[in-house]
Chains A and B, each alone.
Chain A
Amino acid sequence: MQYMIMNYVPAAQADGTLDAQGDMDAWIAYTKAMVDAGVMRGGNALKPGTTATTVRLRDGRRDVHDGPYIDSKEELGGYFVIEVADLDEALQWAARNPAASYGAVEVRPIITA
């Protein structure tokens, strides 16, 4: 089963204002552990939500605005795609995600053909 692991981090974190080096080492270690365990299928870190642009089409009119789709204290900081046996295993990887202890980590099954 493939799952997407989405890291939601405090918005300030995405600006790189909090303990950048320690945090970076934790992300490198987490990514390495997933690659070495053979579960990693892809993923990316995202630039801060302040760089986002959101687009809607309503009644034929374009609505374009700066900023993330959901305006909240936490924002999507990046994601991983993993392939594991089941949800239990996916949740174990989510619990190891550095963002779990200061943000939130969402796990969603990926629809495969």
Chain B
Amino acid sequence: MAWSPVEAEARRAYGRLVALLASRSGDLAEAEDALADALLAALERWPASGIPANPQGWLLTVARRRSIDRARRRANADLAQAELVRMQEEAETAMNGDAAYPDQRLGLLLACAHPAIDDGARTPLMLQAVLGLTAERMAPAFLVSAAAMTKRLVRAKAKLAGAGVRFETPDPEALTDRLEPVLDAVYAAFTLSRGGEGDDSLQHEALWLGRLLAELAPGEPEAAGLLALMLFVSARPSPIRNDRYIPVSRQDPACWNGVLMTEAEKCLRRAGRFSRPGRFQLEAAIQAVHADRRRRPTTNWTAILKLYQGLLAIAPTIGSHVSRAAALAQSGQPVAAIQALDALDPDWVKAHQPYWATRAFALAAAGEHAQAADAYTRAAGLAEHPAVRAWLLSQRALHAN
């Protein structure tokens, strides 16, 4: 689901202001409180009134008014006074025109993915701080209740403020390392998608953050690599449409979005110029080879398998292992695929749906029909989407006697 221009602009301005305020006070929760109402007001009013000439000044002014109201209700206006005066000054400067705000969003993203913050809280924290997404909106993608998500976010913000995490952009030399958990968290949001209609995934939001990171950290090839990877994947329609599942390998390249794929290829080439390969660049490169199917009918499996070798050397995740095995099976080496899958720790794969689907496919290709049927059953039992489950069960039926 794409954003309207109004929503995109409101979120762009919102994130910059949260970053600006949080970088001064060190208190993310306070910065968000000040701006949350303003964001809602913008989403309500801008569609009718048009986007104001100075969206940030507009948001800051509304935030200021709401803060004064809140402070009056709390009747501890003294405490809030200094903050209000500061906001008022800023708002006036902003309304008067071309005040150049420093963009602190990179510092904000780095703080959200700080090692002091729990792995599970980093992604939602980022999406809320920079895009203003609510706990209710994000909770389903993370398979938790809205109340549990709210608790997680409150705890993480208290930790940020309490641990004195600085909202600042480090030196270029330190940036590469600090950026890694940020990229991981953005990709985590991207991969939460289950595909299919009414999907409550955060794919669009993750792509937005990916574009932002590539823009804010132009000297970091992995940021461009991550964006390229997400663009390649976004360029293909969801494998689940009209409640039917069609594997990506069987998609007609004619239905791929050529504009996004070209942008992805450009992005990947830009990253390549740094000669500093990384996990996301390699994954994007694998997608680039697959994307070539829109130009020629065959897939260069030799190139893909070589890229997987490089990927496993630096990021031996379960996903990479399984994807490499799938590539082996698809390129006519099902026995090698089964051996690669056998080599993985059984405890690691016992509830990993793609592992069992890939294993079933490889076993079927190797002519091991009984084992294939068994693996298809297990994969179907681990599937969440009914369309995927139905497809796996139909594959099983082909191999069961």
Which of A's residues lie within 8 Å of B, judged by CB?
Answer: 22, 25-26, 28-34, 36-39, 88, 91-92, 95-96, 98, 100-101
> Are B381 and A32 closer than 8 Å at their CB atoms?
yes
**Chain B residue at smallest Cβ distance from A38:** B350
> Are A33 and B389 closer than 8 Å at their CB atoms?
no
Q: Which residues of B contact A29 (CB under 8 A)?
A: 377-378, 380-381, 389, 392-393
CB pairs A–B below 8 angstroms (12 shown) = A26-B389, A28-B377, A28-B381, A29-B392, A29-B393, A31-B381, A33-B381, A36-B350, A95-B384, A96-B381, A100-B384, A101-B385
Q: Which residues of B contact A22 (CB under 8 A)?
A: 390, 393
Docked CA distance A37–B351 (Å): 6
Docked CA distance A97–B378 (Å): 13
> Are A96 and B383 closer than 8 Å at their CB atoms?
yes
**Chain A residue at smallest Cβ distance from B194:** A95
**Chain A residue at smallest Cβ distance from B386:** A101
Interface of B is mostly: helix
- Contacts of B364-401 to chain A: CB distance below 8 A: 377-378, 380-386, 389-390, 392-393
Known: A26-B393, A29-B389. A92 touches B381 (CB 8 A): no
**Chain B residue at smallest Cβ distance from A31:** B381
* Shortest Cβ distance from residue B291 to the other chain A in the assembled complex, whole angstroms: 31
Docked CA distance A22–B380 (Å): 12
* Shortest Cβ distance from residue B194 to the other chain A in the assembled complex, whole angstroms: 9
What 20 new A-B contacts, CB under 8 Å, besides A29-B378, A30-B380, A91-B144?
Answer: A22-B390, A25-B393, A29-B381, A29-B389, A30-B381, A31-B381, A32-B377, A32-B381, A33-B351, A33-B382, A34-B381, A37-B350, A37-B351, A88-B144, A92-B143, A95-B384, A96-B383, A96-B384, A98-B389, A101-B386
We find that the number of chain B residues with CB closer than 8 angstroms to chain A is 17
Q: Closest 9 interchain pairs by CB? A: A33-B381, A29-B381, A29-B380, A37-B350, A30-B381, A101-B386, A37-B351, A29-B377, A33-B382
Best-buried of B350, B380, B385 by chain A (most CB within 10 Å): B380
* Shortest Cβ distance from residue A88 to the other chain B in the assembled complex, whole angstroms: 7
Q: Which residues of A contact B351 (CB under 8 A)?
A: 33, 37, 39, 92
> Are B144 and A96 closer than 8 Å at their CB atoms?
no
**Chain B residue at smallest Cβ distance from A96:** B384
**Chain A residue at smallest Cβ distance from B392:** A29
Chain B, residues 314-356, CB within 8 Å of chain A (1/0): the string is: 0000000000000000000000000000000000001100000
> Are B383 and A91 closer than 8 Å at their CB atoms?
no
Known: A91-B143, A96-B384. A36 touches B378 (CB 8 A): yes
Q: Which residues of B contact A39 (CB under 8 A)?
A: 351
Q: Which residues of A contact B389 (CB under 8 A)?
A: 26, 29, 98
Q: Which residues of B contact A26 (CB under 8 A)?
A: 380, 386, 389, 393
Q: Which residues of B contact A101 (CB under 8 A)?
A: 385-386
* Shortest Cβ distance from residue A43 to the other chain B in the assembled complex, whole angstroms: 13
Q: Which residues of A contact B144 (CB under 8 A)?
A: 88, 91
Docked CA distance A91–B389 (Å): 18
Q: Which residues of B contact A32 (CB under 8 A)?
A: 377-378, 381
**Chain B residue at smallest Cβ distance from A95:** B384
> Are B393 and A33 closer than 8 Å at their CB atoms?
no
